[in-house]
């Protein structure tokens, strides 16, 4: 697999090897030994899946007391995926990075260490995402940052996203 460092510490783009032929394709979305060899040492304990329609924006979400690392994979569709570094000790504290994940371009994943807020917006008709997390989800431990926070100033590729009531506050 190919690991691409971004401008944020511990926020990586992962390009798994994809085997394709006339029948379709095969790829490993996670192989603990291979990921550990690349320095991703987290113990992943929960897998989640979401489906969202075009112009939906989810986030920016994070866990407060038990920050979790994540590996995000787009199974179908195209999204703009964003991480914001919330680790006060980090050189990239308060900074964001965004990347297009698209099942048509080729397999790509995003890895973020514990301490990032995560969000995405859907650019295709529909998008299915798979999340691998290092902590069990606890709704009483969830925090959020408004998607258009002027201090963070994320350059979203959509102007009028569809938001949940919670994400609009």
Which residue in 35, 62, 111, 131 is the catalytic one? 131
In this structure, the number of other CB atoms found within 10 A of the CB of residue 85 comes to 24
Distance of alpha carbon 134 from alpha carbon 102, whole angstroms: 24
Distance of alpha carbon 10 from alpha carbon 92, whole angstroms: 10
In this structure, the number of other CB atoms found within 10 A of the CB of residue 116 comes to 28
Six-digit token string for 3: 């690991």
CA nearest neighbour of 81 among 89, 71, 90: 71
Residues forming a β-bridge with 71: 111, 132
**Where are the alpha helices (H) located in the chain, listed in sequence order?**
32-37
The yes-or-no answer on residue 31 being catalytic is no
Which residue in 61, 89, 111, 137 is the catalytic one? 61
Question: Is residue 108 classed exposed, middle or buried when 0-12, 13-18 and 19+ CB atoms within 10 A define those classes?
Answer: buried
The yes-or-no answer on residue 130 being catalytic is no
**Catalytic residue list:** 61, 131
């Amino acid at each position: 697999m190919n690991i691409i460092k971004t401008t944020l510490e511990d926020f990586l783009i992962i390009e798994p090897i994809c085997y394709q032929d006339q029948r379709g394709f095969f790829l490993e979305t996670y192989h603990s030994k291979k990921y550990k060899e690349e320095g991703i040492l987290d113990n992943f304990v929960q897998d989640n899946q979401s489906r969202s329609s075009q112009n939906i924006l989810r986030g920016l979400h994070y866990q407060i007391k038990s920050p979790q690392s994540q590996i995000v994979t787009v199974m179908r569709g195209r999204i703009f995926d964003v991480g914001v570094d919330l680790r006060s000790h980090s050189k990239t504290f308060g900074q964001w990075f965004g990347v297009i994940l698209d099942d048509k371009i080729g397999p790509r994943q995003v890895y973020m260490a514990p301490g990032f807020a995560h969000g995405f917006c859907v650019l295709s008709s529909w998008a299915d995402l798979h999340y691998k997390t290092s902590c069990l989800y606890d709704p009483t431990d969830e925090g959020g940052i408004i998607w258009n926070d002027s201090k963070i100033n994320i350059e979203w590729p959509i102007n009028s996203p569809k938001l949940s009531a919670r994400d609009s506050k």
